[in-house]
A and B are shown apart, each in its own frame.
Chain A
């Protein structure tokens, strides 16, 4: 009997199985091999073992993924848990890059000025009343923030807004607008920070920002 060439390797992995797929073979080759391997390892009336696929440096598109999922679905002993690949498309990379880019604006953003960026922004100056700053990431203002700001625009709920003096006219994080109570306007916060909490936008001194939020600062500073 001729030994068949193996394109997939199975290993134990976090309470399930990991399937490593050969990076260089054709899609049909590894799909055939996967079919045979799964049939080989199937056990009667056992519980379905979750499989995580590792594709290495193979780019996996929707079609391949569907084929893999359907093969797994044909075998009762296994279930599809997820996959990982080291490759992404240029578009995905661009989106990721945009989100992780740090923009710098030197000078004061004056009334009528609109800054709309992909990623986070550092304003080396003030944001005056009437100026608008939108970012998909976080907003850091080295001066006084008195204008209109929206961080995490597009849905990043981890985004933060920090300023030497935090006294925004209008503030939102990830689409959640802060509504100032009529009777108690927010006083100007020195070294202030705003972030999304359970009940909407919350304000805090930078020094008393909850630890979980510090992660965002850490991530952003690593990028910077």
Chain B
């Protein structure tokens, strides 16, 4: 058994890492949160991860990870030669093997070119099992920069028509891109009661429109916001259902087959919690 583990480890090191871009088209659907949590979940499972923030001018990933006070250099400094790539990487305080390459806050998207980003990603792929790229909103140069070095894509959407239509656009652009990236879908902020009442697109409808593989569902949970506020990704919390969703996504990225979360479990749980409260049991 020990031997097998050793072998797997060796293989992981000799193979190139996987570069995955997290994108959505629309802003505010949870790209940065998803990047931080998938990265954290992969690190929890013992993989080496480097997170790259390409949202130059509006950098957020460092805040969500709680690393905003540690970053000194950024991606623009690397491109302009102000520092070496390894100098700009910020090590996560919780994991030995998780690093962040921050974006610049003072510059804009045109400060780097897709070729420069690709060169950085290609270098990082040699050292890390996973390189997760946080993409800015929009379909302009920021998007082109973000997908330049990516081998795979995670498209994040919410169960809203606007977000789904923008995700559709992004999927079309990824499919027709030179890199021929096959995107996978994460549906964020799922509210099962609103889906059931027809006030939101339900999962089946979204899948019918986008017709790509579903990587996972994330339940809408206030704890996600609180976790970002504290700078500790929610997936660090073993009891949270949103956090579990991200860990499941990480396992699916690793090739495991994990069943989807049962959406109906949440309201039931909520009901019993309420009942217990009413009875004074909690």
Contacts and interface: CB of A to CB of B under 8 A. Distances in A.
Nearest to A130: B165
B131 to A, nearest CB: 26
- Main SS class of interface, A: loop
B168 A129 contact: yes
A108 interface: yes
Contacts of B211: 108, 126
A144 B165 contact: no
Most B C-beta atoms less than 10 A away, residue of A107, A110, A112, A113: A110
Contacts of B175: 107, 110
Interface in A119-176: 126, 128-130, 144, 146
B27 interface: no
Contact of B209 (A107, A112, A113, A128): A128
Contacts, number: 35
Interface string B86-130: 000000000000000000000000000000000000000000000
Nearest to B209: A128
A64 to B, nearest CB: 51
Interface string A103-123: 000011011110000000000
Contacts of B164: 129
Contact of A110 (B139, B161, B171, B208): B171
A110 B168 CA distance: 6
Interface residues of A, number: 12
A111 B165 contact: yes
A111 B208 contact: no
Contacts of B166: 111
B172 A111 contact: yes
B26 to A, nearest CB: 11
A100 to B, nearest CB: 29
B28 to A, nearest CB: 18
B21 to A, nearest CB: 18
A146 B172 contact: no
Nearest to B174: A110
B169 interface: yes
A130 B208 contact: no
B175 to A, nearest CB: 8
28 contacts: A107-B175, A108-B211, A110-B168, A110-B169, A110-B171, A110-B175, A111-B166, A111-B168, A111-B169, A111-B172, A112-B169, A112-B172, A112-B173, A113-B172, A126-B209, A126-B211, A128-B165, A128-B168, A128-B209, A128-B210, A129-B161, A129-B164, A129-B168, A129-B209, A130-B168, A130-B169, A144-B208, A146-B209
B211 to A, nearest CB: 6
Given A110-B172, A111-B172, A126-B209, 13 more contacts: A107-B175, A110-B169, A110-B175, A111-B165, A111-B166, A112-B139, A128-B209, A129-B164, A129-B165, A129-B168, A130-B168, A130-B169, A146-B209
Most A C-beta atoms less than 10 A away, residue of B164, B165, B168, B171: B168
Contacts of B172: 108, 110-113
A146 B208 CA distance: 11
Contacts of A107: 175
A130 B165 CA distance: 7
Contacts of A128: 165, 168, 209-210
B257 to A, nearest CB: 26
A110 B172 CA distance: 6
A71 B166 CA distance: 66
Contacts of B161: 129
Contacts of B169: 110-112, 130
Interface string A61-78: 000000000000000000
Contacts of A113: 172
Give me the 9 closest cross-chain CB pairs, A-B, nearest first: A110-B172, A111-B168, A111-B169, A112-B169, A110-B168, A130-B165, A111-B165, A128-B168, A129-B165
B279 to A, nearest CB: 46
A162 to B, nearest CB: 19
Contacts of B208: 144
A60 B210 CA distance: 54
Nearest to A108: B211
Interface in B154-168: 161, 164-166, 168
A107 B171 CA distance: 12
Contacts of A129: 161, 164-165, 168, 209
Contacts of A108: 172, 211
Contacts of B165: 111, 128-130
A206 to B, nearest CB: 20
A180 to B, nearest CB: 16
A128 B208 CA distance: 10
